[in-house]
């Protein structure tokens, strides 16, 4: 029996218009009414998904979110931090040097604030402010970052997905040994602590709630969803998911424009 549903946002719960369909809302409401824990599991910070949580009725005591690709677990109704895994300014300087070699701009996320490390790439400016408009953006010179800085993740973006794909292939292997580097959308990839993943976040929350992986369902479409779909008892790939995600999923649902989240919830939770 499924007791926890973890849902990715972009390309999964949200349709192409970046909206939640009425069908998806109804399915989530019905699952919660049945006693199932429904949570967003996203690369975004909590601040940027609060309007969605309110829209979905997931702001009560006992509602949780896994944000920043698994690096932060919070209670929705009061923001209490249950678990957080951080990087620091020394890591920022390390990745900044890499971003310079890739000719990309580096954005540094610390909770609800994004620090754009300067000087920036003039050839490939960041578009992260267009992706997360509710976050506060500031510029910070790279030499001003220090070991005491608390960093949730670092992000590289570009308007051209093919350029990002090309540049990711050139990242030296030692960076993958030091960090978890994941593609979280067509126009961005991210650096988090090596131990951070959506699956790790689900495991930590499962321990807190006494819910086993076999009692979890996870839905996603992109590379950063791989770990949670592989971890959950029922891993669900969206119809629009990458081939990599479809290959490891136990079930392929409909696309994000065809209410694929609602289809899977109905099949495995409401009609089970």
Residues 111-134, mean pLDDT to the nearest whole number: 92
Percent of the chain with pLDDT over 70: 100
47 confidence band (pLDDT: 50, 70, 90): confident
As a whole number, the mean pLDDT across the chain is: 96
91 confidence band (pLDDT: 50, 70, 90): very high
5-9, 110-114, 158-162, 196-200, range with the lowest pLDDT: 110-114
Residues of the chain with CATH 3.30.1240.10: 89-193
pLDDT value of residue 68:
93
The active-site residue out of 8, 10, 63, 149 is 8
pLDDT value of residue 109:
96
Which pTM does this prediction carry?
0.91
Report whether pLDDT(254) > 80: yes
73 confidence band (pLDDT: 50, 70, 90): very high
pLDDT value of residue 60:
96
Residues 60-83, mean pLDDT to the nearest whole number: 94
Has 78 been annotated as catalytic? no
pLDDT value of residue 141:
98
Report whether pLDDT(95) > 90: yes
- The answer to whether domain 4-84+196-270 has CATH 3.40.50.1000 is yes
Residues 93-120, mean pLDDT to the nearest whole number: 96
46 confidence band (pLDDT: 50, 70, 90): confident
Report whether pLDDT(132) > 90: no
Residues of the chain with CATH 3.40.50.1000: 4-84+196-270
Residues 1-18, mean pLDDT to the nearest whole number: 96
48 confidence band (pLDDT: 50, 70, 90): confident
Residues 159-164, mean pLDDT to the nearest whole number: 97
185 confidence band (pLDDT: 50, 70, 90): confident
Note the CATH architecture for domain 89-193: 2-Layer Sandwich (3.30)
Q: Give one DSSP letter per residue of the chain, joined into a string.
A: ---EEEE-TBTTTB-TTS---HHHHHHHHHHHHTT-EEEEB-SS-GGGTHHHHHHHT--STT-EEEEGGGTEEEETTT--EEEE--B-HHHHHHHHHHHHHTT--EEEEETTEEEEEES--SSS---HHHH-TTSEEEEEEGGG--TT--BSEEEEE-S-HHHHHHHHTTS-HHHHHHEEEEEEETTEEEEEETT--HHHHHHHHHHHHT--GGGEEEEE-SGGGHHHHHHSSEEEE-TTS-HHHHHH-SEE---GGGTHHHHHHIIIII--
Report whether pLDDT(272) > 80: no
Report whether pLDDT(71) > 80: yes
């Amino acid at each position: 029996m499924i007791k926890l549903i973890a849902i990715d946002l972009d390309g999964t719960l949200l349709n192409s218009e970046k909206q939640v369909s009425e069908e998806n809302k109804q399915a989530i409401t019905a699952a919660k009414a049945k006693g199932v824990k429904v949570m967003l599991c996203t690369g975004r910070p909590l601040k940027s998904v609060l309007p969605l949580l309110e829209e979905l009725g997931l702001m009560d005591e006992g509602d949780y979110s896994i944000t920043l690709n698994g690096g932060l677990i919070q209670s929705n109704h009061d923001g209490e931090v249950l678990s957080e895994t951080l990087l620091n300014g020394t890591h920022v300087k390390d990745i900044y040097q890499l971003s310079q070699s890739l000719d990309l701009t580096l954005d540094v996320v610390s909770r609800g604030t994004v620090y754009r490390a300067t000087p920036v790439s003039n050839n490939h400016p960041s578009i992260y402010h267009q992706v997360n408009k509710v976050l506060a953006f500031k510029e910070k010179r790279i030499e001003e970052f220090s070991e005491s800085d608390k960093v949730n993740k670092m992000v590289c973006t570009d308007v051209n997905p093919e350029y990002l794909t090309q540049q990711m292939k050139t990242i030296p292997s030692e960076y993958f040994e030091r960090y978890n580097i994941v593609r979280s959308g067509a126009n961005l990839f991210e650096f988090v602590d090596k131990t951070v993943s959506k699956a790790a976040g689900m495991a930590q929350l499962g321990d807190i709630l006494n819910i086993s992986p076999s009692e979890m369902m996870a839905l996603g479409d992109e590379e950063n969803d791989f770990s949670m779909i592989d971890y959950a008892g029922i891993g669900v790939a969206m119809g629009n998911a990458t081939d990599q995600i479809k290959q490891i999923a136990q079930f392929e649902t409909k696309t994000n424009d065809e209410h694929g989240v609602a289809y899977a919830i109905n099949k495995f939770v409401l009609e089970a």
